[in-house]
Amino acid sequence: MNTEAKTAIILLLKGIFYRHDNEKAFFELLENSHHAIVEYFETIGLALRIHEDDGYAYLENIQTEPEEDSLPKLIPNRMLSYKVSLLCMLLRQKIALFEGQLEDERAVVSKEDITSMLLLFLESGYNEIKFQKDIDATIKKVEDLGFLKKLKTQEPTYEIKISLKAFIDANWLHNFDEKLREYKEAKQWN
């Protein structure tokens, strides 16, 4: 295996691997060493998912049938809090708007935009200081998941990573819709 293929493996193990992070390694992932890389990850119970058109790849646990012998899961499933789930859903909607309006442009959103989107889901009379701290913590968690990237600008601005589309699909949105109704009935923000 050549250096570029090894680089692709290392970048995938770190998280979502974007083409712009390393063009040569991404090409190697798609072309010359694809079979070897897929085989390598399968031996440790991981499946490689490549979204060539959007320029990113990631790993996920191989799904096995209950009666099959399965390996321990290398990538843990994460339960997202209501706030993180809500923000992911709202950001996913923003990506859809950007795709419909602007081609080949990054989806960029300001902290002010994020705050105003989330305000729609809160009751009036909410503690403003606590709310801003919650917003900052929620944005940080979504950043840690790899779905937001803070841009170096004067005003806090974030790029919404296109990989969010792979994780927030129609099934996820349907499940979240049901949970949203439950939260609405309970009037919870936690």
Whether 67 is in a domain gets the answer: no
The whole-angstrom separation of Cα 45 and Cα 71 is: 6
- Number of domains, the chain: 2
pLDDT of res. 142: 92
pLDDT of res. 175: 74
Q: Tokens representing 119?
A: 């305000």
pLDDT of res. 47: 92
pLDDT of res. 59: 92
Q: CATH number of the domain at 173, please.
A: 1.10.10.2260
Give the chain's end-to-end CA distance (angstroms, integer).
48
pLDDT of res. 190: 47
pLDDT of res. 148: 92
Same domain, 86 and 153: yes
pLDDT of res. 68: 66
Domain that holds residue 109: 82-186
Whether 74 is in a domain gets the answer: no
pLDDT of res. 67: 63
The whole-angstrom separation of Cα 126 and Cα 123 is: 6
Same domain, 33 and 122: no
Same domain, 41 and 131: no
Same domain, 55 and 95: no
State which H helix or E strand residue 158 sits in: strand 157-160
pLDDT of res. 120: 79
Whether 54 is in a domain gets the answer: yes
**Does residue 123 come out as left (phi exceeding 0), alpha (psi in the -120 to 50 range) or beta?**
beta
C-alpha distances in Å from residue 88, one per residue of 45, 80, 114: 27, 10, 11
Mean pLDDT by 10 residues, the chain (190 residues): 87 89 86 89 91 89 73 77 86 81 75 87 69 88 90 88 82 71 63
Whether 69 is in a domain gets the answer: no
